[in-house]
Chains A and B, each alone.
Chain A
C-alpha cells in the first residue's frame, strides 16, 4: 500500500544535539511538507518542497533544516539552534501543483528534549 512512513515514532534528545527525522513516501507525489504540532496551536509549516533539489521555508523554519535529494525522501533535521524542539512532527505530501490536492500525512514523530 502507498503511504508515508515517518521514523522514528519517538525520539529523545539531549539539549545541544542535532536530530534527524526521516520521511519517505511511495505515492509518487512531487510536493512534501513538514509540520510541527503543539497542543492548542494546530499545525505550523516548517518547510516544504515542490520538487527534488528545491525547498522553501515555511512559517517557523528557524532552527530546522531539510534536504530533498530524492523524490521519495524529505528528512528534517532539528538543530541545536531550535529553542523549543519538543513537539509532534508531521510529514505530508501532495500530488500535482500546489493547492490542487489534499495532503497525505504520515503517523508522526514525537521529539522530546531531555
Chain B
C-alpha cells in the first residue's frame, strides 16, 4: 500500500540548533516528493519539492531535503533553527499522472529560546 510515514510526532530543539525531520514513503515507483509547513489555523505552504535530478534540493526559509532512493526517504534539514520555524511539517508524495497526493501525519516542531 502507498503510504508516507513521519515517525516523529513532536520534536523540540533549541534555537540555533540543527534540525532533521524524517520522512519515509512506500510507493510502487519513484514518486514526486514534497515538504509543506503549516502554522496553527493556517493552510499549508510549500517548502520544497523533488521531481528528478539532484537528490539534494533547496527550499525556502533555509530548508533543504535529501532524496535517498535506497532508503525510500526524503528527510528535511535545516542547519540553524529560528524561533519562527515552530510549526507543523508535512511530507507528501504523489505519483506521476495521478491526483492522489498522500500526506504523512505531520511532525510538530517546538523551538526553545
* Residue among A4, A41, A102 making CB contact with B46, cutoff 8 Å: A102
With known contacts A106-B43, A107-B42, A98–B98 Cβ distance under 8 A: yes
* Residue among B31, B94, B96, B100 making CB contact with A58, cutoff 8 Å: B100
- B binding-site residues for A, Cβ under 8 Å: 4, 9, 31-32, 34, 36, 41-46, 49, 90, 92, 94-101, 103-106
- A binding-site residues for B, Cβ under 8 Å: 4, 6, 31, 33, 40-43, 45, 48, 50, 56, 58, 88, 90, 92, 94, 97-100, 102-108, 110
Chain B interface SS verdict (over half): loop
CA distance A33 to B1 in the complex (A): 22
Is there contact, CB below 8 Å, between A108 and B42? yes
Top-6 shortest CB links A-B: A105-B43, A98-B99, A42-B105, A42-B103, A43-B103, A99-B94
